[in-house]
Structure 1
Amino acid sequence: MRYESAVEKAIREAAERGAFDDLPGKGKPLPNLADADENWWIKGYLRREGMPSDALLPTPIQLRKEVERLPETVRDLPTEQAVRAFVADLNARIVASLRAPDGPRLPLRRADPEAAVEAWRGHRAAGTEALRRARDQEPPVPPPPEPPAPPRRPWWRRRARPN
């Protein structure tokens, strides 16, 4: 005789009923057992959630990467005011990081809003030029539609053919 808690009893009864048979992953090794990295679970969570691994980086490194990727980031913004607002927000975060450093001390410079706007304008001009070239090309001529097939007569209206 041994003591069996309510949880152990429920597990035993479920196993006797066969509730644990045919579970997904049955007979397969547990993932990440050989991984010596202590943050394996964080990396797995980020991968499952579709988040970039840059979220784990210190703030100064994240800001430097954002400054490097600034032309690609502002490329799809609709207006010049949106580009300037995005650069102003980035610069405000850089200044806040410089005033109260968090993480390694790295040289950070604010982003130049004029350079970002010029890059945005250059991309827009290249895009409109490509659209203009595509519009100037003659559209392909569609083939003429096939004439519709004559409607079939129902079998009860068909005349018998003479032999």
Structure 2
Amino acid sequence: MTERKPPGVSFETWVDRQIREAEARGEFADLPGAGKPMPGVTDTPYDELWWIKRKMAREGLSVLPPTLALRKEAEDALAAASVAPSERVVRRIVEDINVKIREVMFKPPPGPPLGLKPYDVDEIVREWRERRTG
């Protein structure tokens, strides 16, 4: 659509005409999903921001402030360490998350405070060993 809105014609009228003409040409016929409800609209309970949340998920964006996202990542790291197959993997998981925690401690991003300190790797490995032998 390269046609410009003519001067003196309201924008709404011009747009309505463009849509009506495109529809008459059949440009809206056989579109994927035609006649079907939009995915997410029928989800219960209804969330008016469903499409924004779905788009953000597809794009890999987070709605959490960085510090809260890191708290979640730290929880996930501890859970992963608790079921890791070897001590070497436990140490790697905890050391990797500690690097991120230290980075936020020294260069805090905007948002709520992190409220975490680096984990004691040896303590987590000791707990991992106890679960494996217990």
Pairwise TM-score range, normalised by the shorter structure? 0.5 to 0.7
Q: By how many angstroms is 1:116 displaced? A: 1.6
Q: Aligned equivalents of 1:46 and 1:84: distance in 2?
A: 32
The 2-side partners of 1:63 and 1:97 are apart by 9
For 2:33, the aligned partner's letter is: P
1:43 counterpart residue number? 53
TM-score, normalized by length of structure 1? 0.50
Q: 1:25 to 1:13 in 2, by over 3 A?
A: closer
Answer with 1 or 2: which has the greater Rg: 1
Q: What secondary structure is seen at the aligned counterpart in 2 of 1:14?
A: coil
Q: Is 1:66 matched up with 2:73?
A: yes
Query: What is the CA distance between 1:64 and its match in structure 2?
Result: 2.3
**Cα distance, 1:117 vs. partner?**
0.7
Q: How many residues align?
A: 113
Shift of 1:90: 0.8
For 2:67, what is the secondary structure of its paired residue?
Answer: helix
Q: Give the superposed CA RMSD.
A: 3.8
Give the TM-score of the pair, scaled to structure 2. 0.58
- 1:105-124 equivalent positions in 2, closer than 5 A: 105-124=113-132
> Partners in 1 of 2:75 and 2:38 — Cα distance?
41
Residue correspondence of structure 1 range 68-87 to structure 2 within 5 A = 68-87=75-94
Structure 2: runs of 5+ lacking an equivalent: 4-17
Structure 1: 5+ residue runs without aligned partners? Answer: 127-163
Work out whether residues 70 and 116 of structure 1, in 8 Å CA contact, stay in contact via their aligned partners in 2: no
User: Is 2:29 the partner of 1:20?
Assistant: yes
Residue by residue over 1:16-72, the C-alpha shift from the partner in whole angstroms, topping out at 9 and shown as x without a partner, is: xxx72585341647855x7544xx43311355x4x7x9x321222222233334442
CA distance in 1, matches of 2:79, 2:97: 14
Deviations 1:107-155 (A, max 9, x none): 22111212221232233325xxxxxxxxxxxxxxxxxxxxxxxxxxxxx
